[in-house]
Amino acid sequence: MSPILIIEQLLNGLQFGVMLFLMAAGLTLIFGVMGLINLAHGSLYMVGAFAAAAVAAATGSFFLALAASLAAAAAAGVVIEVFVIRRLYRAAHLDQVLATFALILIFAEGARWVFGSFPLYFDVPPMLSGPIMLPGGVQYPLYRLALIGVGLAVGCGLWWLTARTRIGIQIRAGANDREMIAALGVDISRLYTVVFALGAALAGFAGALVGAIQSVEVGMGDPVLIMAFVVVVIGGIGSIKGAFIGAILVGLTDRLGGIFLPEVFKLFMEPGAATQTGSALASMAIYILMGVVLVWRPSGLFGARA
Amino acid sequence: MIKKLLLSAAIALVGTAAASDVKVGMITTLSGGGAGLGIDVRDGFMLAITQAGRSDIEVIIEDDQRKPDIAVQLSDKMIQSERVDVMTGIIWSNLAMAVVPASTAQGVFYLSPNAGPSALAGRGCHENYFNVAWQNDALHEAAGAYANQASFEKSFILAPNYPAGKDALTGYKRLFDGDLAGEIYTKLGQTDYAAEIAQIRASGADSVFFFLPGGMGISFLKQYAASGVDIPLVGPAFSFDQGILGAVGDAALGVVNTSQWNKDIDNPTNAAFVASFTETYGRLPSLYASQGFDTANLLISAIDVAHPDDADAFRAALMAADFDSTRGDFAFGSNRHPVQNIYAREVVKEGDLVTNRILSVTLENHGDVYAADCTR
Amino acid sequence: MIPERFITFAVPAGLFIIAILAFWTDEPFTITLTTRVAILGLAAVGLNIALGIGGLVSLGHAAFFGLGGYAMGILAYHAQTYSPLTLGPLVIEGTKSMPVIWIVAVVTSALAALAIGVLSLRTSGVYFIMITLAFGQMLYYFSVSWSAYGGEDGLSIYLRNEFPGINTLVPIQFFGLCFVLLCLALVLQARLRGSSFGLALNAARQAPARVETVGLNPVRLKLLAFVISGAITGLAGALYADLNRFVSPSMFSWHLSGELIVLIIIGGVGRLVGPVIGAALFVALEHWLGGLTEYWHIGLGAILLGIVLFSRGGVIGFLTGKAGPNV
């Protein structure tokens, strides 16, 4: 285990964490403000990736593709908010689970219907491709470094939006007391649409950014959705800060666990068995982390209420 | 009483009419993740049936959604309710393990167009189970043999942490003479390989063998190309079929992969197959499509000799493998799995199209190690 | 409007009659389908105890379904290969006997439900949904990477397990077995609902503070409901594995957890036979729509949306003209 390898893995964990944050931020906002559990958030991630791949194929421009992912996911968000989600704010969580589960089925098969069953081609732009030499002799893909930068920037932007702007005040107020801000004359239904579209756009953006280095295919949102849930549970529902710290924790645990657990087991087991036991445990590591956090703080690290 | 007689007469009539026809049940993956493979097998299979103009072969196609429980349910339906004679179509080894033993135990013939788990090639083999594609280890063994031919001495090997992944690494190690620089099992369905690529970079290997089917391979190849690591890659064809290359693009160029088929294998059957498949479906065939096509032609050749109801004769006709394969020479080993050439292919660009070209024959007339354990 | 009491008796009777008709007309596959309905119904009846009476929206019940399945798979595998299972000093012989397998499945899933419940019930509402989902996924990943019992490939059991006096390989006899268990679970649920435990649980869902003031612990009530619920779903898992003669990690998949909830909602939340109606419709839809188009999930999704948006109370709510209890 050289120090260079460890630094590289830390960067990988960080990069994965900030992408999870983009997903988790939307989930936690939507839940915090509207009290809605949205299983279809992973579908919006997929919508973003598919839109980006389609636009990149048509225009050849990576940045147009990113813009398309934001627009398409936000538009999909508005459509489902207006036609489905809006009717569910007062409904039980159970109805929300079922309706958004139905949306997953519709989005997944719809995407397959439109784009076919084969994965789509979508790649990083030439100016961001290839590795870069960091101080200390660490060679690291430039694109991943850019992802970390973008993730941190979005995080700062969200913090500024919620802490410093008028709409941010409304969002925070909406999370605390819905009736009151409606009584103060804020158009609550428009606020909800905006928040939902924002969350959707973040998910779609993450899908497009990650889609460039992974495969763009139906069902790509499911595993990310569940990890984002873990992040939200750890960070505390409704808290952007919690989502950020939770996401980094989960990202680091997942990446470092996959590398170091097998090494740890090799200290007292024969290598083949150690690799297998280590990998099996590593695949459960983030859930164990979640369990530990729950025992310690049932409403998450920064959750106001359970 | 009269009614009953009429009824039984009608049943007898239907019975005789049906006796000359052969009913084939195809259960394959047509929706959800991995549907591309099932669609290719189905299209290749149906192309052969259509070209032969055989109206006496009725094919019933069902979608297993890649779920073992659905596959089992469909196979029950086909055997109990449709009363099929022959079954085929399954793509994934875990689904094959759920369906094949139960089907052959109920007296149905099973022709596998893809999955070839070791459990069904050795002690668990069955006289009515024929594999027309490969035993799962074959392409991985060929990759090991290729690594020797390319005089690689230190390989880094990785595969997902599930049985087929373990078989892959075992298969590679079986024929590879060099040392291992590292051996990793990744999470099934993993899409980010940054951590593994960092380990590869640090390992000092002179070659990397990987088995990452479907979307996993796409992600790995794109990320590997972006990482700046330039250690040569070797893998089985599953990460390099035509559907995947379209999504990976230039990132796959130059990678060597092993396959029992490629579109430039030089024989008239193959040339006609590639041309007619491309014309009919508007895309290039993959190896899965070729396997579906070969499976159907094997079936037709056997039906020309005997009806499946005459099980012994039908089985002997299958065993003879008297059909023109897209792979050229094709024969079954004693455990009814293929004995065939395995090639090394290189990913190249033909115009704008990223595709494969044959480099050399890696293993000639290659069977599998499990045949010795098969006593049925 | 049809009284609910009538539906409660008519639905199981209808299922039984379909199976008998299929037997007379020699349609073994229809019997297999009705068996599937009975087993999925049983699993959903289990979930309905937590969800319908206790108000616990568990999106991780596939965990218990899968554990039940693996209890069957592991025991039968060791019996099939004549190799005892050694756990340290403990040596367990495999078995092909259904009653023994059922007991093991019920106990295992009850213990797992206890562990998961203790952790998850520290929270409530949407946290609970996400946490149960996450624990289900944890078991899924574990089963995928646990190679001793086939990992992703799963385990094939070549012959169905045995029940004294019954030939389980005959479809109608195996259906009978599953049907009896389903009816027993329904009776248990009806008894539970009328018992003081059921009433307290119902109160704990609606007004936990009041329950506490009369000296009951709402968390403990819910935990007990969750354990009973997990145990029944685990039993269904063992039967499902026997129906398919196969277990694999897909029994742990979160889509299955989602589908169990779907079954309950189609039928009507908190209704005694709601899950059975849901299971029957689900299996029928799967066959009818699946036969029409490869893209049948779109149709299924649209129907589910329609039920949530326009018909609160599911099929039973529609038939009786009364909305179900609010969860």
DSSP B339-352: EEEEEEEEEEEETT
- Domain C4-320: give its CATH architecture: Orthogonal Bundle (1.10)
CB contact (8 A) between residue A143 and residue B226: yes
The answer for A 245-264 residues in CB contact with B (under 8 A) is 255, 258-259, 262
Cβ of C134 and A233 within 8 Å?
A: yes
Is residue B140 very low, low, confident or very high in pLDDT (cuts 50, 70, 90)? very high
Residues B301 and B237 in one domain: no
Helices (H), C207-325: 208-213, 218-244, 254-267, 274-292, 296-310, 314-320
Q: Count Cβ atoms within 10 A of the Cβ of residue A297 and give its class: 0-12 exposed, 13-18 middle, 19 or more buried.
A: middle
Question: Which chain B residues are Cβ-neighbours of C156 within 8 angstroms?
Answer: 97-98, 101-102
Helices (H), C25-146: 28-48, 62-80, 98-120, 125-145
B151 class by beta-carbon count within 10 Å (0-12 exposed, 13-18 middle, 19+ buried):
exposed
B356 & B325 share domain: no
Substitution target from C130, C294, C311 for chain A, most A beta carbons within 10 A: C130
For residue B161, list chain C residues with Cβ-Cβ distance below 8 A. 144-145, 147, 151
Tell me: the pLDDT tens digits for A42-73? 999 999 999 999 999 999 899 999 999 999 99
Please name the residue ranges forming H helices in chain B. 2-20, 35-52, 68-76, 93-105, 138-149, 163-175, 194-203, 215-227, 242-248, 268-281, 287-303, 311-320
* B161, B223: one domain: yes
Q: What chain B residue is nearest to C292 in terms of C-alpha separation? A: B62
In one-letter notation, the amino acid at residue A48 is: G
The pLDDT of residue B3 is above 60? no
CATH code, domain with B245? 3.40.50.2300
**Does one domain contain both B244 and B270?**
no
Same domain, B45 and B98: yes
Mean pLDDT of B122-136: 92
Residues B210 and B307 in one domain: no
Give me the residues paired with residue B256 across strands. Answer: B234, B346
Task: Give a three-class secondary structure readout of chain A.
Answer: CCHHHHHHHHHHHHHHHHHHHHHHHHHHHHHHHHCCCCCCHHHHHHHHHHHHHHHHHHHCCHHHHHHHHHHHHHHHHHHHHHHCHHHHCCCCHHHHHHHHHHHHHHHHHHHHHHHCCCCECCCCCHHHCCEEEECCCEEEEHHHHHHHHHHHHHHHHHHHHHHHCHHHHHHHHHHHCHHHHHHCCCCHHHHHHHHHHHHHHHHHHHHHHHHCCCCECCCCHHHHHHHHHHHHHHHCCCCHHHHHHHHHHHHHHHHHHHHHHHHHHHCCCCHHHHHHHHHHHHCCHHHHHHHHHHHHCCCCCCCCCC
Contact A118 B249 (CB under 8 A): no
What are the tokens at B302? 């056997």
Whether the CA torsion A233, C58, C216, C270 is positive or negative: it is positive
Assess whether B146 and B124 both reside in one domain. Answer: no
Mean pLDDT of chain B: 88
pLDDT of residue C312: 67
| Confidence (pLDDT) at A119 | 81
pLDDT of res. A4:
81
Q: Is residue B363 part of a domain?
A: yes
The residue among C70, C72, C152, C295 with the most chain B CBs within 10 A of its CB, best to mutate, is: C152
ipTM score here? 0.82
- Nearest Cβ partner for B195 among A118, A217, A258: A258
Residues B237 and B352 occupy one common structural domain? yes
| Substitution target from B94, B106, B110 for chain C, most C beta carbons within 10 A | B94
Domain spans of chain C?
A: 4-320
Position B145 confidence tier, pLDDT thresholds 50, 70, 90: very high
For B237-267, the pLDDT digits (tens) are 998 988 888 888 888 999 999 999 999 999 9
pLDDT at residue C325 in the model: 56
Residues B100 and B50 in one domain: yes
The chains found to touch A (3+ Cβ pairs under 8 angstroms) are: B, C
Mean of the pLDDT values across residues C228-235?
96
- Given an 8 Å threshold on Cβ–Cβ distance, is A94 in contact with C265? yes
Q: How far does Cα A157 stand from its chain's mean position? A: 16
Q: Are residues B354 and B213 in the same domain?
A: yes
Q: How many CB atoms lie within 10 A of CB B15?
A: 10
Q: Which is more confident, C90 or B166? A: B166
Burial A279-294 (b: 16+ CB within 10 A, else e): bbbbbbbbbebbbebb
Question: For residue B185, which phi and psi values (nearest 5 degrees)?
Answer: -105, 125
Average pLDDT score over chain C: 87
If asked whether residues B234 and B364 sit together in one domain, one would say: yes
- Backbone torsion region of residue B34, taken as left when φ is above 0, otherwise alpha when ψ lies between -120 and 50, otherwise beta: left
Report the pLDDT value the prediction gives residue B32, as an integer from 0 to 100. Answer: 66
> Number of structural domains, chain B?
2
The share of chain B scoring above pLDDT 90, in percent, equals: 61
The residue type found at B51 is Q
What is the residue range of B114's domain?
2-134+266-332
Q: Is the pLDDT of residue B14 over 50?
A: no
* pTM of the predicted structure, to 2 decimals: 0.83
∠ at Cα B57 (B55, B60), nearest 5°?
115
pLDDT at B19 over 70: no
- Kindly report, residue by residue over B45-81, the tens digit of the pLDDT: 999 999 999 889 999 999 888 888 888 888 988 998 8
Beta-carbon separation of B195 and A255 below 8 A = yes
Beta partners for B158?
B184, B210
* Model confidence at B169: pLDDT above 70: yes
Q: d(Cα B103, Cα B83) in Å, to the nearest integer?
A: 11
> How close are the terminal C-alpha atoms of chain A, in Å?
41
Spatial neighbors of A219 by CB under 8 A, at least 6 apart, are A46, A108, B32, B33
The pLDDT of residue C126:
81
* pLDDT exceeds 50 at position B24: yes
What's the pLDDT tens digit per position in B280-324? 999 999 999 999 999 999 999 999 999 999 999 999 999 999 999
- Identify which of B133, B139, B57, B68 has the alpha carbon closest to the alpha carbon of residue B101: B68
pLDDT of residue B190: 83
**CA distances to B26, B28, B85, B310, C179 from B22, in Å:** 13, 19, 6, 12, 36
Is B97 within 8 Å of chain C by CB?
yes
A15-125+141-296, CATH topology level: ABC transporter involved in vitamin B12 uptake, BtuC (1.10.3470)
State residue B224's pLDDT score.
Answer: 92
Q: Is residue B337 one of the residues assigned to a domain?
A: no
Q: Model confidence over C5-48: pLDDT tens digits?
A: 888 888 899 999 999 998 998 888 889 899 999 999 999 999 99
**CB neighbour class for B57 (10 Å; exposed up to 12, middle 13-18, buried from 19):** middle
Both B6 and B123 in a single domain?
Answer: yes
Positions of chain A with pLDDT lower than 70, given as ranges = 1, 304-306
Q: pLDDT tens digit string along B86-120?
A: 999 999 888 898 899 888 988 899 999 998 988 89
What is the distance between the alpha carbons of residues C24 and A28, in angstroms, rounded to a whole number? 56
Which residue on chain C is closest to A293 by alpha carbon?
Answer: C119
Residues C47, C264: contact at Cβ < 8 Å? yes
Quote the distance between the C-alpha of residue A40 and its chain's center: 12
Dump pLDDT digits (tens) for C150-195: 777 788 887 788 898 888 888 899 999 999 999 999 999 999 988 8
C306 near B CB under 8 A: no
What pLDDT, on the 0 to 100 scale, is given for residue B343?
Answer: 95
Q: What pLDDT, on a 0 to 100 scale, did the predictor assign at position B142?
A: 95
Q: What is the pLDDT at residue B141?
A: 95
Q: What is the mean pLDDT of residues C97-125?
A: 92
Q: Give the pLDDT band (50/70/90) at residue B9.
A: very low
> According to the model, what pLDDT value does residue C6 have?
86
User: Rounded distance, CA A25 to CA A18, Å?
Assistant: 10
Least CB–CB distance from B30: residue in C151, C248, C294: C294
Q: Specify the DSSP element, H or E, that contains C90.
A: strand C90-92
